[in-house]
Amino acid sequence: MRWPMRVWRALLLALMGALLLAGPPAQAQPSGSAPEVSIRSVDSMALRGTTAILDLTLDIRNPGGLALPLQKLRFQLQFNGLDVAQGVSTAPVTIPAQQQAQVPVQVSVDGPTMLSLIASLPPDGMVPYVITGTAEIGQTMLQIPFTHSGAVQLALQ
């Protein structure tokens, strides 16, 4: 059976309208179930050429009432107000409700930027940071935004 061209056009328009109404891929709004991501510690720093490699431990707290199956974290990191790194954690971890987990990550920082940060550190080595990003939940591709500010010690003993 052949359908007239006007029927095909009507179907195409209906599909396009449905796609437009559906909106962008699942991007959750900030809510009480968003993970709380902070930097627990800077475990090591190494210079490789003109790049500084930082090994960080992230604290990820699940304030929600259900287990949180994290597939991936994508984040941007600022130290002392300077954008210094972007990172990705791809080690899946499920965090039970009202619990937390530590996740190791490694980020690359421009060496001169890192050296200038270290040179301007106060005696206690504490530097303010802001971490922002998204947490990818399970196999759903749902991305929950997060942001956290705090301070972490950069002077390693």
In terms of C-beta density within 10 A (0-12 exposed, 13-18 middle, 19 or more buried), how is residue 22 classed? exposed
Q: Is the pTM of this model over 0.75?
A: no
Instruction: Summarize pLDDT for 9-26 with one digit per residue, the tens.
Output: 554 444 444 433 444 443
- Give the whole-angstrom CA distance, residue 147 versus residue 98: 18
Give the H or E element holding residue 32.
none
CA distance linking residue 156 with residue 153, whole number of Å = 7
132-143 pLDDT, tens per residue? 999 998 877 789
